[in-house]
Structure 1
Amino acid sequence: MPLDRMLHNLIKWQRAEGPPTPVRALTVEEARERYLRNAIRPRSAGGGAHAAVSTADRMVDSADGSSFRVRVYAPETDEGRVLTYLHGGGWSLGDVDSHDWACRTAAVSLGAVVVSVDYRRAPEFPYPTPLHDAMTAARWTARCFPGREHVIAGDSAGANMALGVALDARDTGDVEFAGQLLVYPVVDPTLRFASNSACAEGYLLSVDDLAHHYDQYLPDPRRRSDPAVDLLNADLRNLPPTVVATAEFDPLHDEGVELAEKLRATGVPVRHVPGPGLVHGYFLMQDIVPAASARARLVLDELAAVLSPERGAKPVPFG
């Protein structure tokens, strides 16, 4: 399928004055500001059905004595579900504000409380600190919202950590997940699939950007073989039912497909939702690209299908 027309025009407009500056050529502050500027648009403040979602920020104590923020989204229609959501951005960019629209959409579509995690980011806090924050947040969610179907979810680098959290929960028994949602996951630190992709550059995310993000997250190259990083070679058995979403024009496409196949081969129930005509990051484009919105709804419908039917409203313990 050809690249979506609106995405084609968006990329053409962004490149009108030349190729975008690579992430590695920016300071961390400049890269974060650019990411937020591209992710947050006027309509992303919430409107229509999204306005019916209430939010509250909370602080969660980390294992090392520090703390980090989570934003809790509560929809009017509550079906007894909760998502711990880990945002993308290469472990160093993005935050709860950049992914506000995506979390509101998930809350409304699934009738679920969504706990969006503002984990500490690289390079100030390299691996494993962001992953440990994600694990701590999942345990916090389980304690604060007991009795709900709990889904661990994330996009891009957040999907990488979501799978790492699911592996830890399987091995420790600390949290029971009813499902996991992995949206265009980053799972191959060798970048073998991404480098060989026909979409290695020119589609918003480049292999060079990926390499830089890995360098920031994993300054010690020896840690790249850790099972929570090299996820294609991890033991993927006995994980919860999984939805893997990929985008056609994404250097991460092939590793996402490979992950889905490996999960399925171990006996994990998997639903792979391809993203024809779409690029990496389309979950953040739902308010401006109709094809992205339609595909995101399909992804969330597939997740709902692996969960139990409506279990009745559960009170949310905050105003």
Structure 2
Amino acid sequence: MTDTTPALDPALDPELAALLGFLAEAGYPPMWEQSAADARVGFRALTVDLRDPGLLPEMLEVRAATIAGPERDIPARVYRPRPGELPTLVFFHGGGWVVGDLDTHDLTCRTLARDCEAVVVSVDYRLAPEHRFPAAVDDAEAAARWVAEHATDPAAGLGGSPVVAVGGDSAGGNLAAVVAQTLRDEGRTLAGQLLLYPATDLVTAHPSLAENAEGYFLDAPTISWFLEQYVGDADPADPRLSPARGDLRGVTPAVVAVAQFDPLRDAGTAYAGLLEAAGVPVTLRAYPGLIHGFADMGRFSRAAQAAVDEIGALFRRLLHP
């Protein structure tokens, strides 16, 4: 029998290479061969079930919340790291707009709350294919507006400071970038946008899509499957799907993080360049040896944890100038 497993680049972080080997031996079927419901169960197994609860950053308070949305109340989770007035970060989880939830990104939100010294509001937006575009965008925009309007309201239990930011990873980074443009158009001021390996252009076939098409956690068939579930009959060049196609002038400053062995690497890098060309202050960090999803992999990789530490420090400076 011929081994068809792709050879991994020796520049890959060895601890992440070991993680990828473990996942390969576990025999999880690829997402694109599953139903959305089964893929969600599998993603939770990879994130929630492999997590040591004892290693979660402690919070002063973690509580459930609901936000009025366009079609339903939007579930959310609020993380407060310490007492006192703090900025509020609205966070949108990744998962290709198809998988992921409040639990799968619990570690990421706790880490950002601690490292950025901010109250984090994690948003459980509607998922595809049950709710295709623009459902996720509509929910994300509604949540960000609500936080912007209630950040200083004691009854809302948010940060208490008027400083509000948005952020997300992967598909959540896409939503954060879209929301930053929408709130700019509405005259609302944000302190920053944190874009972790974001999906910013659903049209352009950047070289990293082919270079990292298989073997590095997120692969090309899964990306195609995500887009089939989410985009439907919509035009992928719509700026609410591809924020790189929007007007970036005057959007909030950004921290953009990309990984060497990520199919989305070049799209994120290009977006940072577009922001800079539009006169937007932007900090780009390109992390060698890392893969898509590294924000949740610090417990497996010291290099991933170092990247997470740096990202938190960089974004903290935007929230606490």
TM-score greater than 0.5 by the shorter chain: yes
1:95-121 Cα shifts (integer Å, max 9, x gaps)? 010000000001111111000000111
Gapped runs of 5+ residues in structure 2? 1-9, 153-160
Aligned counterparts of 1:292 and 1:44: Cα–Cα separation in 2: 17
Aligned to 1:63: 70
Aligned to 1:293: 305
Aligned counterparts of 1:152 and 1:228: Cα–Cα separation in 2: 15
Aligned counterparts of 1:294 and 1:46: Cα–Cα separation in 2: 20
Compared CA separation, residues 196 and 128, structure 1 to 2 (3 A): closer
Q: Is the 8 A contact 1:77 1:111 kept in 2?
A: no
Aligned to 2:163: 149
State the 1:279 CA deviation: 0.4
Q: TM-score, normalised by structure 1?
A: 0.90
The 5-angstrom pairing of residues 93-132 of structure 1 reads: 93-132=99-138
* Structure 1 position 164 matched with structure 2 position 178: yes
Gapped runs of 5+ residues in structure 1? 310-319
- Residue 216 of structure 1: which of 197, 211, 229 is its match? 229
The 5-angstrom pairing of residues 28-39 of structure 1 reads: 28-39=36-47
Q: Is the 8 A contact 1:83 1:114 kept in 2?
A: yes
Q: Is the 8 A contact 2:59 2:110 kept in 1?
A: no
- Residue 51 of structure 1: which of 49, 58, 61 is its match? 58
- Residue 244 of structure 1: which of 238, 256, 259 is its match? 256
Aligned counterparts of 2:51 and 2:231: Cα–Cα separation in 1: 35
Question: Equivalent pairs: percent with the same residue?
Answer: 37
Compared CA separation, residues 214 and 191, structure 1 to 2 (3 A): farther
Aligned counterparts of 1:151 and 1:46: Cα–Cα separation in 2: 29
State the 1:179 CA deviation: 0.5
Structure 2: which amino acid aligns with 1:153?
Answer: G
Aligned to 1:277, what secondary structure does the other structure show? strand
State the 1:286 CA deviation: 2.0
Aligned to 2:210, what secondary structure does the other structure show? coil
Q: Is the 8 A contact 2:79 2:121 kept in 1?
A: yes
Compared CA separation, residues 82 and 196, structure 1 to 2 (3 A): closer
Aligned to 2:314: 302
Aligned counterparts of 2:192 and 2:26: Cα–Cα separation in 1: 44
Aligned to 1:180: 193
Moved more, 68-77 or 244-253: 68-77
State the 1:44 CA deviation: 4.6
Structure 1: which amino acid aligns with 2:107?
Answer: W
Q: Is the 8 A contact 2:209 2:264 kept in 1?
A: no
Compared CA separation, residues 44 and 53, structure 1 to 2 (3 A): farther
* Structure 1 position 22 matched with structure 2 position 30: yes
Q: CA RMSD in A?
A: 1.8
Q: Is the 8 A contact 1:159 1:181 kept in 2?
A: yes
Q: Is the 8 A contact 1:207 1:251 kept in 2?
A: yes
Aligned counterparts of 1:292 and 1:148: Cα–Cα separation in 2: 32
State the 1:80 CA deviation: 2.0
Compared CA separation, residues 194 and 119, structure 1 to 2 (3 A): farther
Aligned to 1:3: 12
State the 1:148 CA deviation: 2.9
Aligned counterparts of 1:261 and 1:268: Cα–Cα separation in 2: 10
1:183-229 Cα shifts (integer Å, max 9, x gaps)? 00001212501665311111000111111111111111x42121111
Aligned counterparts of 2:139 and 2:314: Cα–Cα separation in 1: 27
Aligned counterparts of 1:42 and 1:199: Cα–Cα separation in 2: 25
Aligned to 2:87: 81
Aligned counterparts of 1:158 and 1:233: Cα–Cα separation in 2: 17
State the 1:275 CA deviation: 1.5
Aligned counterparts of 1:213 and 1:72: Cα–Cα separation in 2: 27
Q: TM-score, normalised by structure 2?
A: 0.90
Aligned counterparts of 2:84 and 2:255: Cα–Cα separation in 1: 21
Q: Is the 8 A contact 1:36 1:94 kept in 2?
A: yes
1:248-298 Cα shifts (integer Å, max 9, x gaps)? 110000111111111101100000011211100011112232211110110
- Residue 283 of structure 1: which of 295, 301, 321 is its match? 295
Length, aligned pairs only:
304
Aligned counterparts of 1:187 and 1:68: Cα–Cα separation in 2: 24
Moved more, 185-194 or 66-75: 185-194
Compared CA separation, residues 24 and 41, structure 1 to 2 (3 A): closer
Q: Is the 8 A contact 1:44 1:101 kept in 2?
A: no
> Which portions of structure 1, spanning 4 or more consecutive aligned residues, are displaced by more than 4 angstroms?
41-44
Aligned to 1:315: none
